[in-house]
Amino acid sequence: MKNYCAIIAITLSTAMPALAAENHGGDVVYTKAVKTVLFSHKLHVEEKKLSCDLCHARNFVMQSLKAQENDDFTMKSMMNGKYCGACHNGIMAFASNTRCGDCHTGVKRGGA
């Protein structure tokens, strides 16, 4: 019985992260260029009901953090409609140059 319980515990502990990521991709924390940005797949996919291909067909490859390797992954590019700025343009969603604290950690929420 002891070995059986250990097998179940190991199976569940290794399967749970995969199940969670499968639902919405998990959180992404950008560390380069656009620093201290927390992107929540849960917020965008589960809560806002946006489809994966809305971003991944045009602005982001499926590999996490790949965008931050691009020289143009900057706030200026976003304000010009690239990356997050394709939707965060002030029309579809709040503009990328407003509400800094909604995306950047360590910044007062709602601040510009």
**% of residues, the chain, pLDDT over 90:** 50
pLDDT in tens, 76-95: 999 999 999 999 999 999 99
pLDDT in tens, 40-50: 999 999 999 99
Amino acid 40: pLDDT: 92
| DSSP letters for 11-67 | HHHHHHHHHHHHHH--EEEE-SSSTTEEEEHIIIIIIS---HHHHHTTT--SSTT-G
Q: What does pTM read for this prediction?
A: 0.70
Angle at 102 between CA 76 and CA 42, to 5 degrees: 105
Looking at domain 24-102, its CATH class is alpha beta
**% of residues, the chain, pLDDT over 70:** 74
Amino acid 92: pLDDT: 93
